[in-house]
Amino acid sequence: MDQLSALLHMSPATLWMAFKVVLVFAGPLTLAALMTWVERRGSAMIQDRIGPNRAALFGKWRLMGLPQLAADGIKAFMKEDLVPPHAHKFLFWLTPILAFLPAALGFAVIPFGQSFQSGGQTYHLSLLDPGNGMGMLYPLAIGATAVYGVLVAAWSSNNKWAILGGMRASAQMVSYELGMSLAVISIFMTTGGYDPHQIIAAQHGMWNVGPQFVGFLVFFTCMFAETNRLPFDFAEGESEIVAGYFTEFGSMKFALMYLSEFIHLVTASALIVTLYFGGWRVPFVANPGVLLSVAAFLGKTLFFCWVFVWVRWTLPRFRYDQLMKMGWKVMLPLSLANFLFHAFLMFRRG
Amino acid sequence: MAVIVKQVELSWLDRTYFWPIFKGMVITMRHFLRQITTRTKDRYTVQYPDMKREMPEGYRGLHELKRFEDGAIKCVACFMCAEACPARCITIQAEEFSDLNLTQGFEEKRPAIFKIDMLRCIYCGYCEEACPKDAIWLRKDYDLAAYDRLSMQFGKWDLMNTYADADQKDRITMDPSPSTQTKAGLE
């Protein structure tokens, strides 16, 4: 590390930061692209189909349908970029960025491996080092701004389906955020801090999913609502509002918004892993080291990504009133009860 | 008329949602594992251009004009199939030929032109039923497609060779004996 940074005339910290920026940006993006493949092939397998398997590299190597990603990407870039005549041009162009940015930013604080020492300096495997003052509040705040992507997309399209989808999606995201935040707060409380490094350190010996199982269930359910995935994908609802808030979006704009949903998915999985499943911790190993810890984090995250896909192809969509009822009358009281229960336990312990 | 919707009484376990969802997820996982461990050829989906489904007995597909062992056409140009055809897609022009050979017995008439317009054919199989010589058969080929309309006009030699490869027969492009008209024309 020191030699390489000397070669590039950079301080080791700067080099490490640049490396992390690339990793944290490209990692979730790659995972998200792979998730589109997992989603399509996995759903096919669940439904006893086969799925896209005919795209081939140079017409030769099919690689289980993976070249379909490249084919879709090329298609998205080459397609005509249509802006409907009555759309708000500026906002319409801005929307994919608004949708993509929060998704890409959300990963910044999540530690994806154990910190290590090298040359008398500690390197942290998260984009923002511990003690940055934002901690776990940052992904929650960034996740909340994802609503703007949805709303602006809906508004700028000037389309009834889009606005219906956008309104429903934003109402849903806002109402599920409460339950989710309360579930996270009870974690902050038992940890005694809101820094992800602290939260992971506190999960030594026992993952949070054990003592906070109810909180986990609430948080997990709310994550489905936040990422706009089945059974809560009211933003789309093919049967009633076509494609919801991105009805009018085509070519790369659509691809970007579609991709940002998958990045949300990856980030949501990473959040679940960090908050409830010990982050990079490996069971029965106190100090797993860099490689093993990164592998453990990746494995857990991928598992939860798969659970998102798995649930999507198991459950039908809720009705809108059921969704609202569940958000306000079940999730919020449940996470409030969880919060009060843990507060009471802490009070008893003194 | 009012319809009374039957209300299903859910147990408390079902009302938690989580247990039924878990059961559903077990079902989808079972499907996933079964499908992913099944070999491609055992799956429900037929990977069409690579794999082809074996058509059932009695399937009516592409026609074949049968031939004798020496390559002579079995058809005697009686026009029965053309008459029976509801789509009027068969065009026959008869010719005479004098060389009597053993397999053919005494017949001395055969089609000079035997054309089926595959775009008009409805694959009803009436020609097969009408044929007194069992000379025209409908077989199991179904993937009949072309880039232009003209190549869907199947002539006599196309029809005689449609199943040559499948049945390991030689492809022929000539009658074993010349027609009388041709002979007369040559002399």
Residue B104 belongs to domain spanning: 63-177
Q: How far apart are alpha carbons A17 and A322 in whole angstroms?
A: 45
Q: B107 pLDDT band (50/70/90 cuts)?
A: low
Cα distances from B77 to residues A261, B10, B113, B128, in angstroms, run 68, 75, 9, 14
Helices (H), B38-186: 80-84, 126-130, 156-161, 180-186
E-only strand ranges, A17-153? 116-118, 121-123
Does B24 sit within 8 Å of A50, measured CB to CB?
no
Chain A CB contacts of B42 below 8 Å = none
In a domain, B89, yes or no: yes
ipTM of the complex: 0.79
* C-alpha distances in Å from residue B118, one per residue of B74, B132, B144, B150, B152: 21, 22, 9, 10, 5
Angle between helices A67-78 and A251-276 (to 10 degrees): 130
pLDDT-based confidence at residue A196 (cuts at 50, 70, 90): confident
Shared domain for B72 and B125, answered yes or no, is yes
Report yes or no: B22 at the A interface, CB cutoff 8 Å.
no
Q: Are residues B23 and B99 in the same domain?
A: no
Asked if pLDDT for residue B128 goes beyond 60, the answer is: yes
DSSP state of B53: P
B44 touching A, CB under 8 A?
yes
Paired sense of beta strands A116-118 and A121-123, if any:
antiparallel
pLDDT at A120 over 90: no
Q: B47–A42: do the CB atoms touch at under 8 Å?
A: no
Q: Note if the bond before B176 is cis, omega within 30 degrees.
A: no
* Three-class SS state of A176: helix
In a domain, B187, yes or no: no
Whether A46 sits inside 8 A of B45 (CB atoms) is: no
Examine the domain organization and report whether B20 and B103 are in the same domain: no
Please determine, for residue B183, whether its predicted confidence score (pLDDT) is greater than 60: no
pLDDT digits (tens, 9 = 90+) for A259-299: 888 888 898 898 899 888 888 888 887 777 788 888 888 99
B108 part of a folded domain: yes
B83, part of any domain: yes
* Chain B positions in Cβ-Cβ contact with residue A313 (cut-off 8 Å): 28
pLDDT > 70 in chain A, percent = 98
What is d(CA B183, CA B187) in angstroms, rounded to the nearest whole number? 6
Q: What is the per-residue pLDDT for A344?
A: 92
- A239-249 average pLDDT score: 76
- Asked whether residue B153 falls in the same domain as residue B72, the answer is yes
pTM of the model: 0.79
Chain A residues with CB within 8 Å of chain B CB: 42, 44-50, 217, 310-311, 313-315
Q: Do B24 and A313 touch (CB under 8 A)?
A: no
Residue A1, pLDDT score: 65
Q: Does the CB of B28 have a partner CB in chain A at under 8 Å?
A: yes
Residues B133 and B160 in one domain: yes
User: Does one domain contain both B101 and B21?
Assistant: no
Q: Would you say A240 and A162 are in contact if contact means Cβ atoms under 8 Å apart? A: no
Q: Which residues of A touch B27 (CB under 8 A)?
A: 314
B4 domain residue, yes or no:
no
Is there a single domain that holds both residue B92 and residue B170?
A: yes
| Number of folded domains that form chain B | 2
Report the distance separating Cα A224 and Cα A311, nearest Å: 9
Q: Of A77-81, A107-111, A284-288, which gets the smallest average pLDDT? A: A284-288
Per-residue pLDDT tens for B132-151? 989 999 988 888 888 999 98
The answer to whether B151 faces chain A, any CB pair under 8 Å, is no
Residues in A touching B31 (Cβ below 8 Å) = 45-48
User: How much is the pLDDT for A15?
Assistant: 81
Judge if B17 and B68 occupy the same domain: no
pLDDT at B105: 55
Looking at the structure, tell me whether residues B114 and B84 fall in a common domain. yes
Q: Which residues contact A95 (CB under 8 A, 6 or more apart)?
A: A149, A152, A153, A156, A249, A253, A257
Question: Are B106 and B149 in the same domain?
Answer: yes
* Structure confidence by residue, pLDDT tens digits, A299-314: 999 999 999 999 988 8
B157 occurs within a structural domain: yes
How many other CB atoms are found less than 10 A from the CB of residue A91? 15
Distance, in Å, from the CA atom of A218 to the CA atom of A264, rounded to the nearest integer, reads 18
Chain B positions touching A49 (Cβ under 8 A) are 35, 45
pLDDT, one tens digit per residue, over B17-47 is 788 888 999 999 999 999 888 888 888 888 8
Give the residue from chain B lying closest to A50, CA to CA: B45
Phi-psi region of B88 (alpha: psi -120 to 50; beta: other; left: phi over 0): left
Structure confidence at residue A13 (pLDDT): 77
Look at residue B96 and tell me if it is in a domain: yes
Q: Do B99 and B157 fall into the same domain?
A: yes
* B48–chain A Cβ distance below 8 A for any pair: no
Has residue B34 been placed in a domain? yes
Q: Is the pLDDT of residue B86 over 90?
A: yes
Partners of B48 on chain A (C-beta within 8 Å) are none
**Residue B43 and residue B74 in one domain:** no
- State the burial class of residue B99 (Cβ atoms within 10 Å of its Cβ: 0-12, 13-18, 19+): middle
Q: Identify whether the C-beta of residue A125 lies closer than 8 Å to the C-beta of residue A110.
A: no
Q: CATH number of the domain that B146 lies in?
A: 3.30.70.3270
What is the average pLDDT score of chain B? 84
CA distance A92 to A97: 10
